[in-house]
Structure 1
Amino acid sequence: MTSVRSARITAIRLCFNLFRGEVNCISAICFLVLVFVFLSMVVSMKRTPTIMTSLEHARLNWKDLEKESENTILIEHEDGNVYIAFKMKDSAKIVKHLKTGIKDLKQSRDLMSETRHVFAENKFSNMKKVNNKTKGERKTGPDDRSLENGHSFPLTVSSHPYNINSKFVCKGVKELSFIVVVHSATTHFMRRSSIRETWANFKLFKRHSMRIVFILGKPEKDSTQALIEHESAVNKDIVQGNFIDSYRNLTHKGVLGLRWISEFCKQAEIIVKVDDDVFLNVFKLMEELESNFRNKTRQIWCPVRNKGTSQIQRKKGKWKIDESEFKNMTHFPVTYCNGFFTVITKDIIKEMYEAARVTPFFWVDDVYLFGLLPDKIKNVKHAPLMNLNLNEKDAIECFESKDKKCHLLVANAHSDGIMDKFWFSALQQYKTLAQKYSKDGLFV
Structure 2
Amino acid sequence: MKTGKHELQVWVLIAAWLYRMHFVIFIFMERDLQVQISKKTNLIHSQTAKKVMDKSSGNTRIIIKPSCNATYLIWIVTSYAGDPSARSALRRAYTNEELQTLGIGRVFLLGTLNDDAKDRTHVSQKALLDESRRFGDILQGNFLDTYRNLTHKHLMGLRWAINNCEGVKYIMKMDDDIVVDIYGILEKLHSSVIEKDSLIGYSMRNMIPVRELANKWYASKMEYAGNIYPDFISGWLYVTSPQIANWLTNYAETSSKYFWIDDVFVTGILRKDLNIKIRDISEIYTTDYRYLECCMKGRTNLLKCEFLIGPNGGDAELQVRFKKFAKFCHANCSMRDENNLVGKTCVVAYKKPQLHKGTFQINPIKIL
- TM-score scaled to structure 1, two decimals? 0.57
1:219 maps to 2:119: no
Q: Percent identity?
A: 24
Code of the residue aligned with 1:248 in structure 2: it is R
1:361 maps to 2:258: yes
Code of the residue aligned with 1:380 in structure 2: it is I
Partner of 1:387: 284
- 2:295 is paired with a residue whose SS is helix
Structure 1 Cα separation of the partners of residues 224 and 112 of structure 2: 29
Partner of 1:169: 68
Structure 1 Cα separation of the partners of residues 100 and 323 of structure 2: 14
From 259, 264, 267, the equivalent of 2:159 is 259
In the TM superposition, 1:166-245 aligns within 5 A as: 166=66, 168-170=67-69, 176-199=71-94, 201-203=96-98, 206=101, 208-221=102-115, 223-245=123-145
Shift of 1:298: 2.3
- 1:430 is paired with a residue whose SS is helix
1:277 maps to 2:173: no
Structure 1 Cα separation of the partners of residues 54 and 109 of structure 2: 15
Structure 2 Cα separation of the partners of residues 160 and 220 of structure 1: 17
From 313, 321, 326, the equivalent of 2:210 is 313
Code of the residue aligned with 1:217 in structure 2: it is G
In the TM superposition, 1:70-219 aligns within 5 A as: 153=53, 155=55, 157-166=57-66, 168-170=67-69, 176-199=71-94, 201-203=96-98, 206=101, 208-219=102-113
Unaligned runs of 5+ in 1: 1-114, 120-149, 435-444
Structure 1 residues 397 and 380: alpha-carbon distance in aligned structure 2, compared to 1, 3 A threshold = same
Partner of 1:344: 240
- 1:363 is paired with a residue whose SS is coil
Alpha carbons 1:154, 1:255 under 8 Å: kept: no
Structure 1 Cα separation of the partners of residues 184 and 110 of structure 2: 27
Alpha carbons 1:304, 1:384 under 8 Å: kept: yes
Shift of 1:251: 0.8
Q: Deviations over 1:116-158 (max 9, x none)?
A: 9xx9xxxxxxxxxxxxxxxxxxxxxxxxxxxxxx685273625
The number of residues matched between the two structures is 276
Q: Could you say which structure has the greater relative contact order, defined with CA pairs below 8 angstroms and 6 or more residues apart?
A: 2
Partner of 2:360: none
From 281, 300, 305, the equivalent of 1:406 is 305
- 1:292 is paired with a residue whose SS is coil
Q: Which has the larger radius of gyration?
A: 1
Structure 2 Cα separation of the partners of residues 269 and 232 of structure 1: 26
Alpha carbons 1:154, 1:361 under 8 Å: kept: no
Code of the residue aligned with 1:302 in structure 2: it is G
- 2:275 is paired with a residue whose SS is coil
Structure 2 Cα separation of the partners of residues 154 and 181 of structure 1: 25
Unaligned runs of 5+ in 2: 1-46, 335-368
Shift of 1:204: 5.6
Shift of 1:194: 1.8
- 1:389 is paired with a residue whose SS is coil
Shift of 1:382: 0.4
Shift of 1:392: 1.7
- TM-score scaled to structure 2, two decimals? 0.69
Partner of 1:301: 200
Calculate the aligned-residue CA RMSD, in Å. 2.6
